[in-house]
């Protein structure tokens, strides 16, 4: 979300410009790719439960559909801005390109806080969002998915509205749907598991046994939950997790130095990924300030919340023990912080590679919807692991061969693929 003085879209453009320069891209390709292809902003008027009317602001940005239909989630957040959505749409383009799936990049959002909306009001927002943009979405144009504070329930309301308007059954319109209604097994786990597949490969590369590692996580939403679950299943020890405290309106870090039990922690977490503070205390968790997650003496840091979390100030808090940063969130690290991480030779698994498991599984979901035949969970996760592992190794190989930072290597691969697509199509 946009915090004063921080503009995620400027940051995304800054990252793009630096790599475009390195790749020697021509001016027209740069102009095309540093700004979204199309963007929509609209009102969603809703009759609230108390009979009053409220108008919510909705967005959809299609950054690029050069490699396939635009693809990306929809966020519900009170601080959503068009620039945040633009940045996230652009990162989706690089994400689908780096894992080499035939999709482009898009993102949507609504300025709202589901904490203070009834299910009925949320349903009306979902249906209103679809009605406002229905002509510009579709399985062959632009395919939405869940993101921060949206779930499979929101996706099925959106699909239902789309099918009512068009009069057809089109499960490929949206991904992240419930099972039995066109959803894919493994989709819920996919982003977090994908993060850990890349961490597993990074540890192999660094010659470290996961059983001798510790990790600290920021956020305990969908991505962080499944990342932590798989990490502990693989033998790692998670010692800290931060989450938002809605009562005190601030983040809190929960620490258990002898290792967090995932099942125990999830049992005291609500649907927004917020951990109950008093129950956590009863279970023996230490309660620390929200920023403490980054200051832990661990091997692995997993920022899996929002943008701008590792910046020029917070990067100084990272302990010398940290060897890997696995970016579960989109845009958690600013370019200033990147310079410090580069110098300290921390192995960064960049966001649009590290968290690409979600969209990769969304792609599998679409494939299954098109076939109208669904794979087992094991099949889905095996395919996901293969995709993530091979994308990670392509980036690692380039980083090693050219002696560049992992984020730059990932950008070089992704931008080259999209640049090639726009050239082959004759757009520039």
CB of 420 to ligand GLU, least distance (A): 22
Q: Which is nearer to ligand GLU, 75 or 256 (CB)?
A: 75
User: Does residue 107 have an active-site annotation?
Assistant: yes
Among the listed residues 70, 89, 137, 145, the single contact to ligand GLU using CB under 6 A: 145
Asked if 330 touches ligand GLU (CB under 6 A), the answer is yes
Q: Which is nearer to ligand GLU, 236 or 358 (CB)?
A: 358
Residue 396 near residue 407 (C-beta atoms within 8 A): no
Q: Can you tell me the distance from the alpha carbon of 395 to that of 230, in angstroms, rounded to the nearest whole number?
A: 23
Asked if 154 touches ligand GLU (CB under 6 A), the answer is no
Q: Which segment (26-34, 69-77, 316-324, 339-347) binds ligand GLU by CB under 6 A?
A: 69-77
Asked if 358 touches ligand GLU (CB under 6 A), the answer is yes
Q: Which is nearer to ligand GLU, 210 or 413 (CB)?
A: 413
Q: Which segment (61-69, 122-130, 356-364, 375-383) binds ligand GLU by CB under 6 A?
A: 356-364
Asked if 72 touches ligand GLU (CB under 6 A), the answer is yes
Q: Can you tell me the distance from the alpha carbon of 92 to that of 375, in angstroms, rounded to the nearest whole number?
A: 25
Asked if 147 touches ligand GLU (CB under 6 A), the answer is yes
Q: Which is nearer to ligand GLU, 64 or 355 (CB)?
A: 355
Q: Which is nearer to ligand GLU, 33 or 353 (CB)?
A: 353
**DSSP H helical ranges for 56-151:** 82-98, 119-133
Task: Enumerate residues 6+ apart whose C-beta is below 8 A from 108.
Answer: 58, 59, 60, 61, 72, 73, 74, 75, 85, 129, 144
3-state secondary structure of 186: coil
Q: Can you tell me the distance from the alpha carbon of 84 to that of 108, in angstroms, rounded to the nearest whole number?
A: 10
Q: Can you tell me the distance from the alpha carbon of 421 to that of 141, in angstroms, rounded to the nearest whole number?
A: 16
From residue 18 to residue 57, what is the string marking binding to ligand GLU with x (rule CB under 6 A)?
Answer: ----------------------------------------
State the CB neighbour count (10 A cutoff) for residue 238.
26
Query: How many angstroms separate the most distant Cα atoms in the chain?
Result: 63
Task: Enumerate residues 6+ apart whose C-beta is below 8 A from 185.
Answer: 179, 374, 375, 376, 377, 380
Beta bridge partners of 71: 143
With CB under 6 A, what is the number of residues at the site for ligand GLU? 12
Asked if 152 touches ligand GLU (CB under 6 A), the answer is no
The first and second tokens of residue 424, run together, are: 């082959």
Residue 349 near residue 325 (C-beta atoms within 8 A): yes
Q: Can you tell me the distance from the alpha carbon of 218 to that of 243, in angstroms, rounded to the nearest whole number?
A: 7
CB of 327 to ligand GLU, least distance (A): 11
From residue 162 to residue 201, what is the string marking binding to ligand GLU with x (rule CB under 6 A)?
Answer: -------------x--------------------------
Among the listed residues 362, 387, 395, 405, the single contact to ligand GLU using CB under 6 A: 362
Among the listed residues 30, 60, 67, 71, the single contact to ligand GLU using CB under 6 A: 71
CB of 306 to ligand GLU, least distance (A): 12
φ, ψ for residue 35, nearest 5 deg: -140, 150
Q: Which is nearer to ligand GLU, 242 or 330 (CB)?
A: 330
Residue 428 near residue 28 (C-beta atoms within 8 A): yes
Q: Which is nearer to ligand GLU, 60 or 71 (CB)?
A: 71
Residue 264 near residue 220 (C-beta atoms within 8 A): no
* Best CA proximity match to 79, nearest among 306, 302, 246, 252: 306
Q: Which of 10, 22, 71, 107 is catalytic?
A: 107
- Point out the residue whose Cβ comes nearest to ligand GLU: 73
Residue 418 near residue 67 (C-beta atoms within 8 A): yes
Among the listed residues 210, 322, 341, 359, the single contact to ligand GLU using CB under 6 A: 359
Residue 340 near residue 315 (C-beta atoms within 8 A): yes
Active site residues: 107
Q: Which residues bind ligand GLU (CB under 6 A)?
A: 71-73, 95, 145, 147, 175, 330, 355, 358-359, 362
């Amino acid at each position: 979300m946009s915090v004063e003085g921080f503009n995620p879209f400027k940051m995304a453009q800054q990252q793009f410009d630096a790599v475009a320069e390195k790749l020697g891209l021509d001016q027209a390709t740069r102009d095309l790719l540093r700004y979204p292809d199309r963007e929509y902003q609209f009102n969603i008027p809703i009759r609230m439960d108390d009979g009053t009317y409220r108008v919510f602001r909705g967005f959809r940005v299609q950054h690029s559909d050069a490699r396939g239909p635009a693809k990306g989630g929809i966020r519900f957040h009170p601080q959503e801005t068009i620039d945040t959505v633009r940045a996230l749409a652009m990162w989706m383009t690089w994400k689908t390109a780096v894992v080499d799936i035939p999709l482009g990049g898009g993102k949507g959002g609504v300025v709202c806080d589901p904490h203070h909306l009834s299910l009925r009001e949320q349903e009306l927002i979902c249906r209103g969002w679809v009605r406002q943009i229905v002509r510009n979405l579709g399985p062959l144009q632009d395919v939405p998915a869940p993101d921060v504070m949206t779930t499979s329930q929101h996706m099925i309301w959106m699909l239902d509205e789309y099918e009512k308007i068009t009069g057809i059954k089109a499960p490929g319109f949206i991904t992240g749907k419930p099972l039995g209604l066109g959803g894919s097994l493994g989709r819920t786990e996919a982003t977090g598991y994908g993060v850990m597949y890349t961490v597993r490969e990074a540890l192999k590369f660094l010659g470290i046994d996961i059983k001798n590692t510790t990790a600290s996580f920021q956020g305990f939403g969908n991505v962080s939950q499944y990342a932590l679950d798989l990490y502990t299943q693989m033998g790692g020890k998670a010692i800290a997790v931060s989450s938002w405290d809605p009562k005190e309106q601030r983040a809190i870090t929960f620490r258990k130095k002898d290792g967090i039990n995932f099942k125990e922690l999830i049992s005291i977490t609500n649907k927004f990924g917020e951990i109950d503070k008093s129950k956590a205390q009863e279970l023996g968790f230490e309660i620390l300030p929200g920023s403490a997650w980054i200051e832990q003496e661990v091997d692995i840091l997993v920022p899996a919340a929002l943008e701008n979390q590792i910046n020029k100030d917070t990067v100084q808090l990272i302990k010398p023990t940290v060897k890997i940063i696995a970016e579960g969130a989109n845009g958690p690290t600013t370019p200033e912080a990147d310079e410090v991480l580069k110098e300290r030779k921390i192995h960064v698994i960049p966001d649009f590679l590290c968290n690409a498991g979600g969209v990769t599984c969304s792609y599998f979901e679409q494939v299954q919807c098109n076939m109208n035949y669904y794979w087992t969970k094991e099949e889905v996760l095996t395919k996901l692991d293969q995709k993530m592992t091979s994308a990670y190794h392509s980036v690692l190989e380039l980083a090693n061969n050219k002696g560049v930072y992992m984020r730059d290597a990932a950008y070089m691969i992704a931008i080259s693929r999209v640049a090639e697509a726009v050239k082959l199509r004759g757009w520039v």
